[in-house]
A and B are shown apart, each in its own frame.
Chain A
């Protein structure tokens, strides 16, 4: 008979060995004792994300302030206009003078 088959037939061993004592408890303890470490890592990331958001917001606010300043300066620079005046009446109207008796009396 085939020596390999002989050997396989002669070596009788249990097909299902019992688990080492306490194995299941050790597996569960190992897994559940790891969990707090995972939570801590998550908190660190949350704080880092919040800090980035605050920094981003501050930069945006500062940028908007700078933009507003430069825009108002541009408006001041463009506020001067030229008005063509051809008569005394037009001059008075352009500069908001009110016709009064003393003004006209003085010039006549």
Chain B
């Protein structure tokens, strides 16, 4: 694997072969981060393409204050969250996006999970899990996804999101607490 300076020099050279090599190295990770946040492969592909366009456009202004990998993941998370917000804005305009049970509390709607990695027999459980994750506030969701699905350490997550490690720890604790409450609301224990 090349060092950062070699990748950067390749991108500044406008040489297609250098670009192809760069894409080959980072595409899988970028795509999977977007997929885990968005839970939809078409949206994840679109975001991943946008991430690469952003990297190519901004490479001249990359100042090396962090590693190239961290910078790339930061762009990926931001673009994924932008797409998520746009999706939620669209959904909120829909008449059928939210409905209330008899007590007036918001009911969790199992969303369609278009994650290619989910085995068919686990579809129901995956839908419940991802529905609950989707309900988390943005920062908790991001931290949870990066830790749980991307196997990033707290330190790596802190660097990527430009927050402290203790903030990551706090967000993870709150995310897990909130997920447990959602699952209790659904009486998930009785499903199994």
- Give A residues with C-beta under 8 Å from B: 2-4, 6-8, 10-20, 23-24, 26-28, 30-32, 35
17 contacts between A and B (CB under 8 A): A3-B184, A4-B180, A4-B183, A7-B129, A11-B125, A11-B129, A13-B117, A13-B119, A17-B41, A19-B27, A23-B49, A26-B49, A28-B16, A28-B20, A30-B49, A30-B53, A31-B56
Q: Are A7 and B32 within 8 A (Cβ)?
A: no
- Using A13-B115, A16-B32 as known contacts, list a sample of 20 further A-B pairs with CB atoms less than 8 Å apart, ordered by residue number in A: A3-B188, A4-B176, A4-B183, A8-B129, A8-B148, A12-B122, A13-B118, A15-B117, A17-B31, A17-B115, A17-B117, A19-B31, A20-B31, A23-B27, A24-B23, A27-B27, A27-B49, A27-B52, A28-B19, A30-B53
Q: Are B24 and A24 within 8 A (Cβ)?
A: yes
Q: Are A31 and B53 within 8 A (Cβ)?
A: yes
Question: Which residues from chain A contact B119 at a C-beta distance below 8 Å?
Answer: 12-13
Total number of residue pairs linking A and B with CB closer than 8 Å:
82
Q: Are B56 and A6 within 8 A (Cβ)?
A: no
Question: Which residues from chain B contact A7 at a C-beta distance below 8 Å?
Answer: 125, 128-129, 183, 188
> Is residue B189 within 8 Å, beta carbon to beta carbon, of the partner chain?
yes
Q: Which residue from chain A places its CB closest to the CB of B17 in the assembled complex?
A: A28
Shortest Cβ-Cβ A-B pairs, 9 listed? A13-B117, A14-B117, A27-B52, A24-B23, A11-B126, A3-B183, A7-B129, A3-B188, A4-B180
The CA of A19 and the CA of B32, in the complex, are separated in Å by 8
Question: How many whole Å from A11's CB to the nearest CB in chain B?
Answer: 5
The CA of A20 and the CA of B52, in the complex, are separated in Å by 15
Q: How many residues of B contact A (CB 8 A)?
A: 39
- A-contacting residues, B144-171, CB 8 Å: 148-149, 151
Question: How many whole Å from A54's CB to the nearest CB in chain B?
Answer: 32
Q: Are B188 and A15 within 8 A (Cβ)?
A: no
Question: Which residues from chain A contact B89 at a C-beta distance below 8 Å?
Answer: none
Question: Which residues from chain B contact A35 at a C-beta distance below 8 Å?
Answer: 14
Question: Which residues from chain B contact A6 at a C-beta distance below 8 Å?
Answer: 192
> Is residue B179 within 8 Å, beta carbon to beta carbon, of the partner chain?
yes
Question: Which residues from chain B contact A27 at a C-beta distance below 8 Å?
Answer: 23, 27, 48-49, 52
Question: How many whole Å from A14's CB to the nearest CB in chain B?
Answer: 4
Question: How many whole Å from A6's CB to the nearest CB in chain B?
Answer: 7
